């Protein structure tokens, strides 16, 4: 794994945006897998600045998001559809038909999961996938114990994940307990993966991912088996390992 060590959240965001920007500009990546959560917010801000400063048109780019909460409509303020609109899509010219997320309100979720897998295949697969990491080692909503060959499916969120995400919901509002997520098998088929990590609460998971046994108990360890992964992580996220001994 290629590890880019940075100082802090701001530098991680800038470097992560630069990574995706270069992928897009080179024409290498036409299908970009996107992530949500607290970590990528700064990355998207920098990406928008770079795209607009360089007057880049993205009309031939497709985006494919990792996941969506079950029970939240596309226009719910806490849905990942809204997150993507607020943080990225409203500022750039990727056509709405090219922005793909699973639906959180499908009538038939089995069919929705199959549709999403088909869609990714029809696009020719994800060229570059952006990932965050959960403090419990999850990637997308693939919680500990998720199968390495899993495809897009409905999952129950781990109590720790529900707790971590409750900060985005108003008091009294129910935090969704299920989601549709790309599976680990789906994610591993991406041509290139870039993971961003910031903060000491991610340090143990980052250490496990880089140095631990490859096991479904810590989903991110599967990335040791992918041959094109770049981790951009700040000092706190890397505080439990000696990077020199890994590379
Ligand atoms: P976070 O989530 O960016 O909100 O910490 C990352 C993740 O759970 O993948």
- Helix (H, G, I), strand (E, B), or coil: what is residue 81? helix
Domain of 125, CATH number, reads: 3.40.50.1360
How do strand 2-6 and strand 67-69 relate by DSSP bridges?
unpaired
Question: Is residue 147, in this structure, part of any structural domain at all?
Answer: yes
Note the pLDDT of residue 246. 79
Note the pLDDT of residue 133. 98
Note the pLDDT of residue 172. 86
Q: pLDDT tens digit string along 42-98?
A: 999 999 999 999 999 999 999 999 999 999 999 999 999 999 999 999 999 999 999
Is the distance from the beta carbon of residue 34 to the nearest atom of ligand 1 less than 6 Å? no
Active site residue 76: no
Whether residue 241 is predicted with pLDDT greater than 70 in this model: the reply is yes
Question: Is residue 11, in this structure, part of any structural domain at all?
Answer: yes
Of 35, 39, 200, best ligand 1 pocket probe by most atoms within 8 Å of the beta carbon = 39
pTM here is: 0.97
Nearest to 65 by CA among 50, 79, 47: 79
Residues 6+ apart with CB under 8 A from 39: 132, 196, 197, 198
Q: pLDDT tens digit string along 138-153?
A: 999 999 999 999 999 9
Nearest to 131 by CA among 222, 37, 195: 195
Of 134, 163, 166, 223, best ligand 1 pocket probe by most atoms within 8 Å of the beta carbon = 134
Note the pLDDT of residue 247. 65
Write down the H helix ranges in the chain. Answer: 9-26, 41-53, 80-87, 109-122, 159-165, 184-188, 203-211
Question: Is residue 214, in this structure, part of any structural domain at all?
Answer: yes
Q: pLDDT tens digit string along 112-127?
A: 999 999 999 999 999 9
Whether residue 245 is predicted with pLDDT greater than 90 in this model: the reply is no
CA distance 180 to 165: 15
Note the pLDDT of residue 108. 98
- Helix (H, G, I), strand (E, B), or coil: what is residue 232? strand
Rounded to the nearest angstrom, the distance between the alpha carbon of 163 and the centre of ligand 1 is 12
Domain that holds residue 151: 2-241
Whether residue 104 is predicted with pLDDT greater than 70 in this model: the reply is yes
Q: Which phi and psi angles does 221 have, rounded to 5°?
A: -65, -20
Per the CB < 8 A criterion, the answer to whether 195 and 222 are in contact is no
Active site residue 62: no
Number of domains in the chain: 1
Question: Is residue 247, in this structure, part of any structural domain at all?
Answer: no
Instruction: Kindly state the DSSP code that residue 138 receives in the 8-state scheme.
Output: -
Is the distance from the beta carbon of residue 219 to the nearest atom of ligand 1 less than 6 Å? no
Question: Is residue 111, in this structure, part of any structural domain at all?
Answer: yes
CA distance 45 to 38: 12
Residue 100 has a CB neighbour count (10 Å cut-off) of: 17
Question: Is residue 246, in this structure, part of any structural domain at all?
Answer: no
Rounded to the nearest angstrom, the distance between the alpha carbon of 165 and the centre of ligand 1 is 9
Token pair for residue 67?
A: 């996941």
Token pair for residue 228?
A: 């094109």
Active site residue 245: no
Is the distance from the beta carbon of residue 133 to the nearest atom of ligand 1 less than 6 Å? yes
Q: pLDDT tens digit string along 191-221?
A: 999 999 999 999 999 999 999 999 999 999 9
């Amino acid at each position: 794994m290629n590890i880019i060590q940075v100082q802090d959240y701001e530098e991680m965001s800038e470097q992560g945006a630069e990574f995706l920007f270069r992928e897009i500009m080179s024409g290498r990546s036409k299908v970009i897998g996107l992530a949500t959560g607290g970590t990528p917010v700064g990355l998207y801000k920098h990406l928008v600045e770079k795209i607009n400063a360089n007057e880049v048109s993205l009309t031939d780019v497709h985006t494919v998001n990792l996941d969506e909460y079950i029970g939240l409509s596309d226009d719910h303020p806490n849905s990942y559809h809204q997150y993507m609109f607020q943080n990225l899509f409203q500022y750039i010219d990727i056509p709405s038909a090219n922005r793909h997320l699973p639906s959180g309100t499908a009538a038939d979720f089995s069919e929705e999961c199959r549709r999403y897998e088909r869609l990714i295949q029809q696009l020719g697969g994800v060229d570059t996938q952006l990932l965050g990491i959960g403090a419990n080692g999850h990637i997308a909503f693939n919680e500990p114990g998720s199968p390495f060959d899993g495809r897009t499916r409905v999952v129950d969120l781990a109590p720790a994940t529900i707790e971590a995400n409750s900060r985005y919901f108003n008091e009294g509002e129910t935090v969704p307990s299920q989601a549709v997520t790309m599976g680990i098998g789906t994610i591993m088929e991406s041509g290139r993966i870039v993971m961003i990590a910031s903060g000491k609460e991610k340090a143990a998971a980052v250490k496990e991912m880089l140095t631990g046994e490859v096991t479904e108990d810590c989903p991110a360890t599967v990335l040791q088996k992918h041959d094109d992964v770049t981790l951009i992580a700040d000092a706190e996220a890397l505080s439990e390992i000696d990077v020199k001994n890994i590379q």
